[in-house]
Structure formats: structure tokens, C-alpha cells
């Protein structure tokens, strides 16, 4: 696996993977940023990785859903270089005729066992998640 970055101007660059897919990258310090920041890309990676896991797990359980949305928030060390993530929280929201416990279990498996991105970031950040099904928070009973 490899990617190639091509500088455009200022802090703006284009990154392309081996299959020709491109993303724009920039800094958040620029008012007219032309892409996501590297740290935003990490959070996007958490969302993307977990979504693939969750969809795969739900498909294997023959659970169909109407929509899946994942919001990932990260807290970073302020005033220190490097400014690492210390906490990352993902809110997994699903709509449709689905059993909330199945969605929770799929998210749990993703964040604790399968998602390479969040498991990589777990070395420096506390990774947590919550689940919403049809706009209602699901809390797993112990």
C-alpha cells in the first residue's frame, strides 16, 4: 500500500492512492483551506473504517437498515507539539427497522476488534463510541 502526495501551493497538496483516488489536504490555519487537515483525515479514517466494519457485520447478521451516519470527535493536547489526540468519540446513528442491540454489537466489534484505524490510534487516545437507533440513544444493559 502506498500513496503519493503532490504539492499544489501554500500548504495545499493532493494525495493519490495506487488506484488513482485523490483527496485534497491543507492546513486549518488557512482561511481558504482547499482540503482536510491531516488530523481531520485521521478522524475521517476512523469513521470510514468503522462504517465498513459495521456494514459488514450487519450484512452478515442479515440486518438491513435505512441509513448509517457516524460522527467522530477528537480532543487533542493543546499547546504541545505534537498535538496528539487524547480522546476520540464516535457516535454511530442508524435508522430503520433494526434491533438496537445488534447495531451496538456491530459497533462494539468494530471499535474493539476490527477497525485498524481506531486500534492504531488507541495507542495514544481513549477511543469510545455511542449508538443511536432511530434518534434514540441505546445503552447496553450489563
pLDDT tens digit sequence for 18-29: 999 999 999 988
Q: Does domain 1-36 have CATH number 2.20.25?
A: yes
How far, rounded to the nearest angstrom, does the alpha carbon of residue 63 sit from its chain's CA centroid? 22
Mean pLDDT across 132-141:
92
Task: Give the pLDDT of residue 31.
Answer: 84
What confidence score (pLDDT) does residue 92 get?
98
- Supply angle C-alpha 44, 88, 64, rounded to 5: 60
pLDDT tens column, 55-108: 999 999 999 999 999 999 999 988 889 999 999 999 999 999 999 999 999 999
Which part of the chain is CATH 2.20.25?
A: 1-36
Q: What is the model's pLDDT at position 30?
A: 81
Q: Tell me what the pLDDT averaged over the chain comes to.
A: 96
CATH code given to domain 38-138: 3.30.300.20
- The four Cα atoms 109, 117, 136, 67 give a dihedral, to 10 degrees, of -100
Q: What pLDDT, on the 0 to 100 scale, is given for residue 44?
A: 98
**Start-end of CATH 3.30.300.20 domains in the chain:** 38-138
Q: Closest by alpha carbon to 76, among 119, 40, 129? A: 40
Amino acid at each position: 500500500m502506498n500513496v503519493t502526495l503532490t504539492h499544489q501551493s501554500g500548504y495545499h497538496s493532493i494525495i493519490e492512492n495506487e488506484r488513482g483516488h485523490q483527496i485534497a489536504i491543507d492546513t486549518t490555519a488557512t482561511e481558504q483551506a482547499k482540503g482536510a487537515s491531516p488530523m481531520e483525515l485521521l478522524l475521517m479514517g476512523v469513521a470510514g473504517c468503522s462504517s465498513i466494519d459495521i456494514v459488514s457485520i450487519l450484512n452478515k447478521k442479515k440486518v438491513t437498515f435505512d441509513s448509517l451516519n457516524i460522527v467522530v470527535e477528537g480532543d487533542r493536547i493543546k499547546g504541545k507539539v505534537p498535538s496528539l489526540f487524547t480522546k476520540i468519540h464516535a457516535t454511530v446513528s442508524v435508522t430503520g427497522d433494526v434491533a438496537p442491540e445488534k447495531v451496538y454489537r456491530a459497533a462494539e466489534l468494530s471499535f474493539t476488534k476490527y477497525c485498524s484505524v481506531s486500534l492504531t490510534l488507541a495507542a495514544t487516545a481513549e477511543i469510545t463510541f455511542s449508538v443511536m437507533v432511530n434518534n434514540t440513544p441505546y445503552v447496553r444493559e450489563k
